[in-house]
Every structure is written in structure tokens, then in C-alpha cells.
Structure 1
């Protein structure tokens, strides 16, 4: 029998080694790298959506922490959560400007994407997603903004908006001032996505006087909707118990004259209040202490008059100091 030569034996061993390395390489690619390529593609789509033209900010009410799932057509597989906010690069240059709060309530049956733009350049500044029958809030630099709203059912992405949806331009610019809180209600006048009415209102964001700038307390306060569609919360003024109805259209927290007297609010600065029955004359006083749920505030301005009856309204001088999120029949208040 002929013995194999050393040269042939070495060649055979090298060939076996190459085959072994090829098998190991295929195994690693099939079980490890291939799935990662798909995952990498998904992350790439999400990264391009958020950083190609836009940077994801931590929203006031919802923070997106998971990667965005993208379908084969480049559209996202689901709506961004209610309250999701995205800020464009030019917004970074205004971080040092005076900011104020902007509350928006979507009373339509369609989800809506609010697009805020710079009137001078028409460049997008910020977009906000608001689900139907819900609300959210935004911190904005004091300035004027062009506003348009996209509405529909089939969501794609920030660039395309809603597929077969509608885009409605607001009839007036959104004006944000440092000492005011701007409120916007998006209301339907029909069943189509384009059937949107814009209702603006403003309230004071800062009340002059000795009111403390930050309430005391921790956690989240859940307010339930009561008869009439309002939200109610138990509280107190100068340790006298009271039941408030939340009124985002009221600038100042309002109580009756009898309650104010009982609670020891006796100082009176002449004040005119707009009610459903017209303008009434009242007083503007100071409550040494006010509580709503587990939160406590000091030196709070309250208005009181004879025409209010037994309805006590929690106004924006108090609500505006909280982060407000509405979901279904529950309104959640947390500190900023």
C-alpha cells in the first residue's frame, strides 16, 4: 500500500480547515447576523424618521422609548402615542427664550397631527399628535406660529401624515406670550376629517402677587368626569373643604362670596368676571393656602362674587402650574 505523501496530507488538512471555517461562518451569519440586519433596518428607518429632518423630544405626556416599527411601504405600523411631540432642528436655537404653555383638546372623532411652523420661513418648528377625545399640552417659546392640522384614520409617518386624510390650515396665527396660557379646542362640525373648527382662548399663566411658583406635593392626581362633562376634584381653601370643577377657560379660580367669607378671604380688589349670564362685578382676593388632592399651594389668587352660586371653578392660575393629560374620562395632573 502506498503511503500518502506529506504534501498531499498537508493540503487535505488545509482544505478541511477551510471547509470548517466556511461552515462556522455560515452558522454565525444565519443565526446571528441575518436577524440583526433586519433589526438594523428597522432601527435605521426609525432613526431617519426622527433625525433625518426631525429630532425626538421627550414629550410632556408620553415618551417614546421603543423603536418605531415600520412596514414595507415605509409607514409606521401604529399611531404615535397621544401627546407625542417632535421638535425640528430650528427649535433648538430658541431654548433660551421665554416659554409658555399651549393646551390643545381634540374633540373630533379623528386623530390629529398639529404642525407648528415659523411664519417667516414656513419651516416646521414642532408637531404634536393628539388622539380623538383627548388632550395634551406643549411648552413653546413666546412667538407667533402658523398652524395646520392633519386628520385621518390611516397613519403613515411624519413626512406623509395620514393616507387619504385632510389638511386644514388654521384661520389665524397661534400667538404664544410668556405671561399667558393659550388654549385650543379642535371641534367637529361634520363627520369628515376636514370638518374642523378652531376655538382659541387665553388665560393668565402668571398671576401677579405673592403666589408661590411651585405647588407642594408628589405623585399624580386623577380627576374623574362627572355629570355635565366636567372634571371634579376635592380640595380646600384656608382649610375649608371645597369641591372644584375644572374650567380651563377660567383665568382665575372662582368661588362664591359666602364661601370666601367663610374661608377668611376678605381682601377685595375690584374684578369683573364673564359668566354665562353676562359680566358680573366681584372681588379678587388671596387665599393663604389652597389644596387640590395631595397638592398644596400658597397665596393663591381667587375671585368671588354673588352671582356664582354653589359652583366653584378651578381656573388656569392653578391648573396651569400642572402638566395636564386627558385620556377618556380621566384627567391626570402632575407637577412639571
Structure 2
């Protein structure tokens, strides 16, 4: 990740729209906030800085002074936790106003009496105990994340450090549920792991893309899911087609191809593909998430048939190493210790650089 002053990071985000769409659609500002907003001690009940632009006017969140802006979409990250520090909160508004066509009028309008209303906090889905088909459970998780909305403010509210142990990332997810603020794709991927922990027979793994459009790079990540021989995904994106996909793909290569086609529809070319290792269901594990164990660089140049064969070969190797909740007791009874499967050594799964 590209960083600037420790707070401006290269976005793991979905692509902006083509210029033609920007010119065709109009701006809508829907920044809703309390008068005593995110700085309030009652952070879990604060209203959110929600959708700031219509899809037609989303811009790349680049900093005007950043020399490497062409390398990726940039955004700020809140590293101070909650309540949000005053300078971070003000920086969020300054950044949003600088990028929005309405400028400073945006802040004045959204913090006025007109918008000083309460906001409903979504209820966390407890899908582990839900007696329903797996597709229904996954849809419930996705619906919950959709209700949080995608974060267009230019400031990521939750600091996701990818090499943290899983137990630490799960604590961040608990904070996400408590605060109920808009999230980006990386936050949604980790939150998807948290919400699906304990779902029997479900395997989860990171699925990352890097794409190119108009000389710029965009990065995106979703949570790949596997159950009963079928693949799908959970996630958040500015584009619905680049987030949730139901369990309908009979191979991992078919799931990847579906994403590639969706990228092509918005004028993006996939330049890099990374597939991780299945994530344990033990929320107290000190393992770290393996984000890229199978990597294809210059993806768009590769013969798709050959790449598909390699992807499915890797998927087969993954399935032989997959862990399920049948061997991990997440809620031990009184006087019993949890039974945890020995961690998978990611080296046992062959890395492939195509």
C-alpha cells in the first residue's frame, strides 16, 4: 500500500465510473449526521457520513499533493478509534468538501438542523443459529453489510491492518457492528469473516483484483465463499456486480470469470488476480489471513483457458486442506476447552505465479 504521512493509503477499492457516466448523471448529496456527530461518546448511535455522491459523480479519492496519485485511488484512514479525534473529524469534512462540486456548502448543509435526525442501527444477523439454507444465511449477511452502505466520504473509519492476527481483526469487526458506520471493501471482507464464523461447512477465502482504467489502477477485494461444491462471494463495492454473488458457480474459475466480465462492462481491465487461503472459523486464532497465495500477474494478457485450468487446480488443492466448523467448537460448554484444528501451513498449498 502507498502511504502518505501514515494516514493516506492506496485504496483497496472499486473503480470509478467512465467519464461519460460522470457527465451524464447529476450530483446528489446525502451526507447525514448528528449535530454532535462521530465525536460523541455515544458513538454506536451516531448517524453516519453516508453516500456523498451519486454513482455518476464518484471521483478518485486522490490527494492533490500526492505525486503517486496515478498509482491508485487514495483515501484517509481513521487511526484514532472512537470517539473520533477532532482533527480527524474535521479532515474528513475538508477532504469530502474539496472533492464535492458543492464545496464548503456541503458541510454547512449536511450539519444543519435539517439533517439532525436519528438513524436506524442495523441489527447484526446471527446466522450461525439460523435454521435456513446456506444461501439464505449468506444473503442475510450481505443484506446487513448493504444496510451499512458503502463509504464514499474519503475517510475509512476502521483501520484494517492486513497482517494482524485474526483475533485482533475480529475485535475491529465488533467495533464495526457497534458503530454501524459505512464501510469499504476491505472492511467488508473482514466483517464477512466475522459474521460467518461458525457456519458449518462454509469455507471463506480472500479474492483480490487489481484493474486498470484510463491510466489509473484500482484495487478491490471480496470474500470468496465455498459450500457444497459451489462458489460465491460476499463484499461491498460502488458497483453491485463487483460485490455479492450467490452460490451459483460450479468452479472457482467461473467465479473469477464472472468478475472479469463485470469489470469489462465498466471499461476496466483486470491486471492482477490474487487468491488467498481458507480462513479458520476460530475467532480467537492468532493466525493471520493469507491474502495472496495464488497470484496471476498481467492477468488480461494470459490465455483464459490456461489460467482457468490453473485456478481450478489451485481450488482443488485448497479443498483438500479446508477446515470446517465440524472440527472447531467455538462455544465450549462449562469446564471444557475449545477443540481447535492445527493450523494449515500455507506452504502446503502450492503458490502459482502464472
TM-score normalized by the length of structure 2: 0.23
Computing the radius of gyration from Cα coordinates, the structure with the larger value is 1
TM-score normalized by the length of structure 1: 0.24
Q: Which has the higher helix share?
A: 2
Q: Which has the higher strand share?
A: 1
